[in-house]
Structure 1
Amino acid sequence: MADLQHIVEEIVAEMAAATERGRIADYIPDLAKVDPARFGMAVVDAEGREYVAGDHATRFSVQSIAKVFSLTMALGMVGDALWRRVGREPSGTAFNSIVQLETEHGIPRNPFINAGAIVVADVLLARHEPREAIAEFLRFVRQLVGDATIVIDHEVARGEEATGFRNVALANYMRAFGNVHQPVEKVLGTYFHQCALAMDCRQLALAGRYLMAGGVNPATGRSVVTAQRARRILALMLTCGHYDASGDFAFSVGLPGKSGVGGGILAIAPGSASIAVWSPGLDSKGNSLLGRRALERLVRHTGWSVFEAGGGPLRTGASRG
């Protein structure tokens, strides 16, 4: 599989040389300080082999990518009862939009928009105080990766608490409809700390392995979720993981993926690979501009698109165009 390492290095070199890099998420104080020239990529395949290049060992704020892990935990707690409080449809609106909540009686369209993830945080708080819920979330991610050094960046969390007025509005609006049960300040504190999870590309790719492997963590052989639930999470990542650009991401990349305004994207090639890319510059929809382009290149080389016949393991001699 040496060819895959060459492909990853080639893609990273191309992205590093790009002049159009998008715009940093400067509305979160600590994210505004990140160097827009950074780019990292990591691929972990089904056999556990790792292919990394660029700034793959630099930690960044995963932001909304954390919603994949909080959703996994909430489904483990309440199962399909979650879907009475959160929908499973693409929103077609921005990640922090409040518009649909009025007509849909406080039920967010899906768990990956901010409103949906706030409800998920509320579910996780049903059994814990915020400190315990945050610690349980961090422990879960560390177990997925097998790395106790992963942390939550409390400076980033404080910055979000100081500037997240729209999220405060979303939470209070849903509380008015009875779809947020715990005190709003506790729910938001938990949500902001989840989003402030700091990981590097390699760690993020390792964290996504259970979704690549039918719900089982390949490193431990232990089931994280059932195979059916893993498929459902992947379906939501494909249809909702990039907000109002999810259709375009499915069209151009063809993989389940979840983006974050920290510039990261976690993408899953079911049965083949877990992939993480990071480039902090965002497009107009709040997704990593070069991260998406890199994933387009990777899928073109490997044939990993879920829509491609025979997609799966790396194709020898796949198109390099």
Structure 2
Amino acid sequence: MKYNEIFEKIAAELKDYDQIGQVATYIPALAKANPNKFGMYLVTREGHSYFHGDTDETFSIQSISKVLSLVYAFKLVGTDLWKRVGVEPSGSPFNSLVQLEYEQGIPRNPLINAGAIVICDILMSELKNPYQDFIKFLRSLAGNPNIDYCKTTAESEKECGFKNSAHINLMKSYGNIENDAEEVLDFYFHLCSIEMSCKDLAQTFMFLASGGKNPVNNKRIITAQETKRINSIMLLCGFYDEAGEFAFRVGLPGKSGVGGGIVAIYPDQYSIAVWSPGLNTKGNSSKGIKALELFTTITQSNVFGPSPIFDELEYE
């Protein structure tokens, strides 16, 4: 069976999926999304691409950007990063203030809001032009010079970002924020506003499925050891307080965003991105998770199960 045929099979099975969820309404710019949009895009280690549905349409990647900002910060400061943010699953909603105060301003991990804000603070300290430098880094990973921030979404996030303001001020009180709080928040909101397609995301994350190297040009992005760290954090923390459920059902390291996107990787094999804006109660794409569960079940490709059946799949 070909990958495209697998995608068609999954799409047919989910055509009348009755748990599509609701789009994110607490961010006004995201409330306009069409919940019926759906796309899947896969890139293999050999550079082959397979896709189905709305894979070229851009959407707000939101928290998926947190993995990429983490990678960039890790490149810049190395293991000193872990003095300011932990690596444990939160077990709490992504915007929990209770946990942050209990742990004295040290976020549980870099993929919850507070942790990602600390990462933004680090990037602002380390980079001369953080906005330009980060988007340049992202464009190079994706191979797409048109990827950019969405000012409308960034402003929309700022208008309703009261909890994020509480997070950064609480961390500032504990000495875990070095730069001006409002400037760091503005950078954070811009990172969340970045717009990409399933195609862009699958290509961008391929280096994490390739031991830290971009397979297109063989350029090393991070070391193999650092890649292990990032993939581990995605597996444990990439879906907030649904991370265990995602690992149980899908079995891959990945990251979601409230724009409805999910990206996941199978080490040494592929990177896959899905998009469906309808979210479940945990803030993750309901249809997207189900699609990935079906995909890893059909292909037997997950990091916990038996050897995958790639040899039995036709790639052309």
What amino acid is aligned across from residue 162 of structure 2 in structure 1? Answer: F
Q: Kindly, what percent of the aligned residue pairs are identical? A: 48
- The answer as to 2:315 corresponding to 1:316 is no
In 2, the alpha carbon distance for the partners of 1:16 and 1:31 equals: 23
Give the Å deviation of 1:303: 1.2
Structure 1: runs of 5 or more not aligned:
none
In 2, the alpha carbon distance for the partners of 1:12 and 1:258 equals: 21
Indicate conservation of the 8 Å contact 1:302/1:315, yes or no: no
Relative to structure 1, is the Cα distance of residues 317 and 145 closer, same or farther in structure 2, using a 3 angstrom cutoff? closer
Indicate conservation of the 8 Å contact 2:73/2:81, yes or no: yes
Question: What is the aligned counterpart of 2:147 among 141, 145, 150?
Answer: 150
Can you list the C-alpha shifts for 1:98-140, whole angstroms capped at 9, x where unaligned?
A: 11112211000000000000000000000346xx211111111
Give the Å deviation of 1:310: 1.2
Determine the structure 1 residue equivalent to 2:113.
Answer: 114
Q: TM-score, normalised by structure 2?
A: 0.97
Give the Å deviation of 1:315: 5.2
Aligned length, in residue pairs = 314
SS of alignment partner, residue 145 of structure 2: coil
Determine the structure 1 residue equivalent to 2:104.
Answer: 105
Indicate conservation of the 8 Å contact 1:36/1:280, yes or no: yes
Determine the structure 2 residue equivalent to 1:6.
Answer: 5
In 1, the alpha carbon distance for the partners of 2:188 and 2:27 equals: 15
In 1, the alpha carbon distance for the partners of 2:14 and 2:198 equals: 15
What amino acid is aligned across from residue 316 of structure 1 in structure 2? Answer: E
Determine the structure 2 residue equivalent to 1:306.
Answer: 303
Can you list the C-alpha shifts for 1:191-224, whole angstroms capped at 9, x where unaligned?
A: 0000111000011000000000000000110000
What amino acid is aligned across from residue 223 of structure 1 in structure 2? Answer: R
- The answer as to 2:186 corresponding to 1:185 is no
What amino acid is aligned across from residue 111 of structure 2 in structure 1? Answer: F
Indicate conservation of the 8 Å contact 1:16/1:38, yes or no: no
Counterparts of residues 213-224 of structure 1 (less than 5 Å): 213-224=210-221
Determine the structure 2 residue equivalent to 1:94.
Answer: 93
The answer to which structure, 1 or 2, has the higher relative contact order (CA under 8 A, 6+ apart) is 2
What amino acid is aligned across from residue 42 of structure 1 in structure 2? Answer: Y
Determine the structure 1 residue equivalent to 2:270.
Answer: 273
In 1, the alpha carbon distance for the partners of 2:15 and 2:119 equals: 36
Indicate conservation of the 8 Å contact 1:95/1:243, yes or no: yes
Question: What is the aligned counterpart of 1:251 among 248, 257, 268?
Answer: 248
Determine the structure 2 residue equivalent to 1:172.
Answer: 169
Can you list the C-alpha shifts for 1:135-194, whole angstroms capped at 9, x where unaligned?
A: 111111100011101111110000001111000000000000000110000100000000
What amino acid is aligned across from residue 312 of structure 2 in structure 1? Answer: T
Segments of 4+ moved more than 3 angstroms: none
Indicate conservation of the 8 Å contact 1:250/1:256, yes or no: yes
Structure 2: runs of 5 or more not aligned:
none
What amino acid is aligned across from residue 298 of structure 2 in structure 1? Answer: H
Determine the structure 1 residue equivalent to 2:60.
Answer: 61
Give the Å deviation of 1:15: 2.8
In 2, the alpha carbon distance for the partners of 1:16 and 1:28 equals: 27
What amino acid is aligned across from residue 264 of structure 1 in structure 2? Answer: G
Give the Å deviation of 1:17: 3.0
SS of alignment partner, residue 33 of structure 1: coil
In 1, the alpha carbon distance for the partners of 2:105 and 2:11 equals: 42
Can you list the C-alpha shifts for 1:262-320, whole angstroms capped at 9, x where unaligned?
A: 00001011111100000001111101000000000000011111001213x625279xx
Give the Å deviation of 1:12: 2.5
Indicate conservation of the 8 Å contact 2:21/2:285, yes or no: yes
Determine the structure 2 residue equivalent to 1:41.
Answer: 40
Give the Å deviation of 1:42: 0.3
In 1, the alpha carbon distance for the partners of 2:51 and 2:15 equals: 14
